[in-house]
Amino acid sequence: MKTVSTQAPFEIIPLGGLGEIGMNLMVYGYEGKFLIVDCGLTFPNADTPGIDIIIPDTSFLAENRDNIVGFVLTHGHEDHIGAMPHIWPDLEGPIYGAAMTLELLKGKFKEHDLLGKATMVVMNNREKFQLGPFNICPIQVTHSIVDASALAITTPLGTIIHTGDFKIDHTPVDNRPTDLYTLAQYGESGVLALLSDSTNITRPGATTSEQEIAPVFAEYFPKAEGLLVVATFSSNIQRVQQIITAAAAVGRKVILNGRSMVNNVRVARELGYLDIPHETIIDIKQFKNHPRNKLALISTGSQGEPNSSLVRIAAGEHKEVVVQPGDMVVFSSKFIPGNERTIWTLINMLFRAGAEVVHEKNVPEIHVSGHAPQEDLKLMLALTKPKFFVPIHGEPRHLHRHRNLAIKMGVAKERAFVVENGNRVALDGETIQIIDQVHSGRVFVDGKGVGDLGDIVMRDRLHLSEDGMVVVVLVVEKTSGQVLQSPELLTRGVVYEDENQELLEEAKEAVERALELGAKAMDFREDEAAGAREISQRALRRFFKKRLGRRPVVIPLVMEM
């Protein structure tokens, strides 16, 4: 006879990061209380013109704010903490994270005038703490940022392991490898469910150690005849340490370039995560006071972000630094999918300036990933031996492939479960099922506006960017609705007006004919202006579609006299 659990079910409610890369936000529920793990953002793409960042829709959490016991942050990357300044004020609650994570968060809270308003508690690996019904134990893991943690979350129903972003590097630069011992201990005690990072599921093999990059730097840095520029992610403190060590070994002073690079290095030094002789780093304003072949510049902007310092350097627009023939630029970073075009544009600019450029496409060993490939994911499954498995952090192709891997590793098919944002999943110890769908989605942050732009506005922006805009100005007689003068047309992004006057005159004639026919066929007495707007809009849409094959946004302005 099957035993039915009398314990309350454990709930898994992803609001971001499942079915997509980035914007990670996981909610865990037990006995009506909710724990929030991570609160990240994602960056805009071609489909979201003008948007600064995108954050998860937390309407569900706002409706349950009185039952939120707190936030726990696995590490300090933007896709895990970047939304906190926008979301925390509406939800509040204590914030737990490792020392580096909280220091990075404090910088964000300071920018939003939130510093001092939130209770932030430093969590230490293997030191358990209680938040409502959740007993939480941080577990040290390696990633491309220091102070990354997996979480063992225990309730009376059992323990779930939330890996966060991780890899298994046995020889990390900071000598703080993934805590396989603690993971194995939980595996022996019994893990109810494993929720594991799926980002690199398509990559075979095991993790390449971060230390494997050191010989590559040692090979290429001496080849730089002039200035040495190394672009990397400012949060990758271990990589920064290796760059500084390798640069010092060839007799170069180091300059930090980019606000986040300067801030992150400062925080890491204060916390003891960087070992840098004081005289090694100099201010960028001292650039001209040193020979170029004695300087190394560590810069942000490895993804070719339009306003980044590295792009301004490549374009010759930086106040202090310019690239010249004989310089070497090293991209110690990944070509993030979706950024390839901007990165290649930046690389081409650097080549035009005469620099030699090293990147992962011509020297693959120049970067190692922070996410677990297949063999690491197998080891996580083997150590924890979960009863249930839920893949997290990935698009559908990642999640389903990770599920298949878990099944091969011995998890029963019916207990390996793919979920996506908004699914409300109940785990009762014997079964796992979706019991509800909560509100989820994306919120656009544009300037000071948060959530005031929706899909309709995005559609209009895309329409404007693709087909342009036509404004038609009509002057009509108030009582009769008769057009008193020829329409005026103003176009943007459709045609160049000075060279297309004949076409625009034809467009005006098309509007006039349509208005004449409309006046005969319809009675505008009740709302003449509205009738004129509708007819002129329809006429111009037809005209430009027929003549140019374009569908510009048509905005009619009617002035009544």
Catalytic positions are 197, 371
Are 333 and 302 within 8 A, CB to CB? yes
Pair of tokens at residue 332 = 């110690």
Alpha-carbon span 8 to 531, nearest angstrom: 62
| Helices (H), ranges, 69-150 | 78-81, 84-91, 99-111
Cα dist from 27 to 35, 101, 249, 473, whole Å: 6, 19, 47, 52
Are 259 and 302 within 8 A, CB to CB? no
Q: Which of 10, 15, 16 lies closest to 32 in space, CA to CA?
A: 10
Give residue for tokens 């606000």: 259
Alpha-carbon span 436 to 422, nearest angstrom: 8
Give residue for tokens 């650039």: 287
Write out the E strands in 84-147. 95-97, 120-122, 129-131, 134-141
Q: Which of 84, 79, 85 lies closest to 111 in space, CA to CA?
A: 85
Q: Which of 150, 154, 169 lies closest to 74 in space, CA to CA?
A: 150
Per DSSP bridges, beta strands 253-257 and 328-331 are unpaired
Alpha-carbon span 189 to 184, nearest angstrom: 9
Pair of tokens at residue 395 = 């698009």
User: In the beta sheet, which residues pair with residue 255?
Assistant: 282, 297
Pair of tokens at residue 143 = 């990633």
Q: Which of 307, 388, 371 lies closest to 336 in space, CA to CA?
A: 371
Pair of tokens at residue 487 = 């329409």
Burial code of 50-63, b = ≥16 C-beta within 10 A, e = fewer? ebebbbbbbbbbee
Pair of tokens at residue 529 = 């202006």
Pair of tokens at residue 404 = 């298949």
Residues across the chain: 561
Residue 258 region by backbone torsions, left for phi larger than 0, else alpha for psi between -120 and 50, else beta: left
Are 115 and 80 within 8 A, CB to CB? no
Q: Which residues contact 341 (CB under 8 A, 6 or more apart)?
A: none
